[in-house]
Amino acid sequence: MTTVRVATCQVSPVIGNYKRNLQQVKQSLSDANGLGAEIIVLPELPVSGYAFDNINEARALSENIDGETVSSYISASFNGTTIIGGFCEKGTDGEIYNSAAVVENGRIIDIYRKVHLWGKEQIFFTAGQDPAPVVSTQYGQIGVGICYDIEFPELSRDLTLRGAEILAFPTNWPKSETPAGERPNLHTIAMATARLNRVYVAVSDRSGTERGHEYMGASIVASPDGWSIANSEDNSEFRTIVADCDLDIARDKHLGEMNDILLDRRPELYLKR
Amino acid sequence: MTTVRVATCQVSPVIGNYKRNLQQVKQSLSDANGLGAEIIVLPELPVSGYAFDNINEARALSENIDGETVSSYISASFNGTTIIGGFCEKGTDGEIYNSAAVVENGRIIDIYRKVHLWGKEQIFFTAGQDPAPVVSTQYGQIGVGICYDIEFPELSRDLTLRGAEILAFPTNWPKSETPAGERPNLHTIAMATARLNRVYVAVSDRSGTERGHEYMGASIVASPDGWSIANSEDNSEFRTIVADCDLDIARDKHLGEMNDILLDRRPELYLKR
């Protein structure tokens, strides 16, 4: 059994409160550490905030990979955690990206630039030109996407086929109405994604309200069987949840005694891609 | 607005009770007709039963496309309904297939042979060699899969990319434990499949117990927003549910004001298929 403790950290950034936002992130990382987390997933853009007014604002809040946001991840990783967290990236090419850093043992081991941009992100950001990565970390193979990426089953399947055991999605999910008695749609998507790929899915969602935009605070860790093993749904300022994930389960693609969800595929019969 | 009324019909066949099973199917078709259904989805193998002991039994219970099962669909379709229902097909090639017929106006318009075989089906059946179809019916474009097919997001996506507005899944879902307060995993998968493809998903599941195997009776019609608009979860002998589906919604792939879930795809960045 290869069990790792995964945390998702809810924060509630507000544009223009850079110091407060950064402090929230540092506090969350400390909370997750206190809960024994080995892998910590933070939301999308947790320090810059999300609801930019214009591209100049996005540019002003962007940071190089050695900026304070990623530096806070690096500092927190010296205690043995692997951290996946969003940041507003100022690329060396001058472009602004909606990115996630994967950090462990005091160094950056990967940067992912979001490839499916949501809403006005298309104005503020340049879309990533590289595939979402599967990162070999000290705790296992972690596939990384950001928010809207989870709505592309092709991306989750691709990460799974490339060996991901956990899919980590830093997320800022806009608030939408959930019918009485139902889980938020983000939970449903995460649970089905986990089940259909037999991987763990860890979505770290933000909360709070920014310029009139509300967010869900609907983080979840779903098991390869498709059930929630930790989740939240509230709009509080902070909320860190943890779940123990046995990666042996995610490496075994059997379903029942006679099936294997990857070997059973019939790619020659899926006509369009 | 192009609204069609979709029914799913739960039945509880038992191997060896061919006449009773056929009578249940005819009764269900009549019930659905009474509820004003225009499209009717029946479970997988509703007349042969499912839990075969051996291949000879499957062969003995198989029928040509002009057998009594498909004939019962044809008879029921003269009143203007489109029917998608399973049957144990004896192919003209001598092979046995786990198939679904699509029937309307007194004639067969398509036959689909299940391409992903579950469990012991691999002993009893030959896997289909043709892609799951998108059938142009009088009520819209219907993509057809059978049971375990729904666990392949590639198949649902392919049907969507080929124009399906409703995905119909005749199903026999083995009973499994559902944690308290959760929907059956079949519902979660159907709802996420609907949401991620912005199509209607109509799963017609069987109920009952056969040779010790229990089934879920967890039919559902999910909307393109990913919510249940009709569902059941009980083990009663019969249960027909209906939902009105506005196909204009399924034809519109916009999500929010600036996104389109199909145009936003980045196929060049999904490395494995």
Q: Which of A9, A114, A210, A245 is catalytic?
A: A114
Residue A234 pLDDT > 90, yes or no? Answer: no
How open is the CA angle A81-A28-B179, to the nearest 5 degrees?
85
Across A38-54, average pLDDT: 97
Kindly state whether B119 is in contact with chain A, defined as any CB-CB distance less than 8 angstroms.
Answer: yes
Contact criterion met (CB < 8 Å) for B131 and A270: yes
In this predicted structure, the answer to whether residue B234 has a pLDDT above a threshold of 90 is no
Active site residue A245: no
pLDDT tens figures, A246-264: 999 999 999 999 999 999 9
Which residue of B162, B176, B260, B273 is the best one to mutate when testing the A interface, meaning the one whose CB has the most A CBs within 10 A?
A: B273
Phi, psi of B208 (to 5 degrees): 90, 180
Report the C-alpha gap between B223 and B202 in whole angstroms: 9
The token pair at B39 is 């499209």
Active site residue A147: yes
Among B267, B215, B256, smallest CA distance to B46 is for: B215
B270, B271, B273: best mutation site toward chain A, by most A Cβ within 10 Å?
B270
Percent of chain A past pLDDT 70, that is, above it, reads 100
Burial of residue A33 (CB within 10 Å: 0-12, 13-18, 19+) is middle
Tell me, what's the pLDDT at B236?
Answer: 85
Residue B93 C-alpha, separation from nearest chain A C-alpha, in angstroms: 20
Chain A hits for B162, CB-CB cut-off 8 Å, are: 271-272
Q: Which two tokens stand for residue B212?
A: 């010790």
Q: Which of residues 120-179 of B touch A (CB under 8 A)?
A: 120, 122, 127-132, 148, 151-158, 161-162, 179
Catalytic residue among B44, B63, B89, B104: B44
Range of the domain at B187: 3-269
Q: Report percent pLDDT > 90 for chain B.
A: 96
Q: What is the pLDDT of residues B215-225, one digit of tens each?
A: 999 999 999 99
3-state secondary structure chain A: CCEEEEEEEECCCCCCCHHHHHHHHHHHHHHHHHCCCCEEECCCCCCCCCCCCCHHHHHHHCECCCCHHHHHHHHHHCCCCEEEEEEEEECCCCCEEEEEEEEECCEEEEEEECCCCCCCHHHHCCCCCCCCCEEEECCEEEEECCHHHHHCHHHHHHHHHCCCCEEEEEECCECCCCCCCCCCHHHHHHHHHHHHHCCEEEEEECCCEECCEEECCCCEEECCCCCEEEECCCCCCCEEEEEEEEHHHHHCCEECCCEECCCCCCHHHCCCC
Q: What is the pLDDT of residues A221-233, one digit of tens each?
A: 999 999 999 999 8
Q: Give dist(CA B222, CA B207) in Å, integer.
A: 19
pLDDT surpasses 80 at B1:
no
B47 within 8 A of B36, measured Cβ to Cβ: no
Across residues A187-201, what is the average pLDDT?
98
**Chain B (95-114) residues lying within 8 Å, Cβ to Cβ, of chain A:** none
Q: Does residue B206 contact residue B44 with C-beta atoms inside 8 Å?
A: yes
* Amino acid at site B118: W
pTM above 0.95, yes or no: yes
Q: Does B233 reach chain A within 8 Å, measured CB to CB? A: no
Q: Does residue B214 sit at the A interface (CB-CB below 8 Å)? A: no
Is residue A42 a contact partner of residue A28, using CB atoms and an 8 Å limit?
yes
Q: Does residue A181 belong to the interface with chain B, where contact is any CB pair within 8 Å?
A: no
Which entry of A38, A44, A89, A104 is annotated as an active-site residue? A44
Model confidence at B171: pLDDT above 80: yes
Rounded mean pLDDT of A174-180?
Answer: 95
Judged by a CB distance cut-off of 8 A, whether residue B262 touches chain A is: no
Please state the rounded mean pLDDT for residues B66-77: 98
Q: What is the pLDDT averaged over residues A159-179? A: 97
Contact A213/B at CB under 8 A: no
- Alpha-carbon distance of A144 to A134, in angstroms, equals 7
CB contact B227 to A (< 8 Å): yes
Mean of the pLDDT values across residues A183-196?
98
Q: What is the pLDDT of residues A91-131, one digit of tens each?
A: 999 999 999 999 999 999 999 999 999 999 999 999 999 99
Q: Is the pLDDT of residue A177 over 80?
A: yes
Q: pLDDT tens across B123-163, in order?
A: 999 999 999 999 999 999 999 999 999 999 999 999 999 99
> Which residues partner with A102 through β-bridges?
A84, A110
Count of alpha carbons within 13 Å of B106, Cβ hemisphere only?
2
Beta-carbon separation of A271 and B158 below 8 A: yes
Question: Cβ of B256 and A192 within 8 Å?
Answer: no
Question: Which one of A266, A268, A271 would you mutate to disrupt binding with B, by most B Cβ within 10 Å of its Cβ?
Answer: A266
- The CA dihedral of A111, A117, A119, A123, to the nearest 10 degrees, is 80
Q: What angle do CA A157, B187, B273 make, to 5 degrees?
A: 15
The sheet carrying A200-205 orders its strands as A134-137, A140-144, A166-171, A200-205, A220-222, A228-231
Residues of A whose CB is below 8 A from B126: none
Question: Based on the structure, what is the number of domains in chain B?
Answer: 1
Q: Does A119 touch chain B (CB under 8 A)?
A: yes
Structure tokens at B60: 């003995």
Angle of helix A68-77 relative to helix A18-34, nearest 10 degrees, comes to 20
Residue B273: its pLDDT value, please? 82
Q: Which position has the token pair 């198949």?
A: B155
Is B19:B48 a contact under the CB 8 Å cutoff?
Answer: no
CATH number, domain with residue A184 = 3.60.110.10
pLDDT at residue B65 greater than cutoff 70: yes
* A113/A117 Cα distance (integer angstroms): 10
Q: Is the model's pLDDT at A1 over the cut of 70?
A: no
Assess whether A114 carries a catalytic annotation.
Answer: yes
Say what the pLDDT of residue A236 is: 85
Look at residue B178 in the predicted model and tell me its pLDDT.
96
Identify all chain A residues contacting B264, using CB atoms and an 8 Å cutoff.
116, 148, 152
